[in-house]
């Protein structure tokens, strides 16, 4: 198989992360009106990444799981992404 080919369109399953990456800076601009910049960046990344993880997990899992396990599986990576984005926004503010 060539490097440019994907089997069963594997990359199409991860579209929520691409959409979240496009929405995140817009959400930062809106939330920045009420919160300091690092908090706005971290909170917006948390919301976008958690939503993308929730959608992606719901689409890719075959066996139904409880809401608690699926929610924690989406919120935990969202917290990590939000902390990293907030810390980087604190160190390197882009505005």
Q: What is the pLDDT of residues 5-44, one digit of tens each?
A: 555 566 677 888 888 889 999 999 999 999 999 999 999 9
pTM of the model: 0.79
What residue segments make up the domains of the chain, in order of their start?
Answer: 14-30+37-59+67-91
Q: What is the pLDDT of residues 39-82, one digit of tens each?
A: 999 999 999 999 998 888 776 666 566 777 777 888 888 999 99
CA-closest candidate to residue 71, choices 85, 86, 43, 51 = 51
């Amino acid at each position: 198989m060539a490097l440019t080919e994907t089997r069963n369109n594997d990359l199409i399953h991860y579209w929520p992360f691409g959409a979240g990456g496009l929405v995140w800076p817009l959400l930062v601009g809106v939330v920045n009106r009420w919160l300091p910049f690092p908090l706005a960046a971290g909170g917006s990344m948390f919301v976008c990444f958690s939503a993308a993880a929730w959608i992606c997990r719901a689409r890719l899992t075959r066996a139904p799981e409880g809401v608690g396990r699926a929610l924690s599986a989406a919120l935990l990576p969202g917290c990590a992404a939000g902390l990293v984005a907030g810390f980087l926004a604190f160190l390197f503010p882009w505005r």
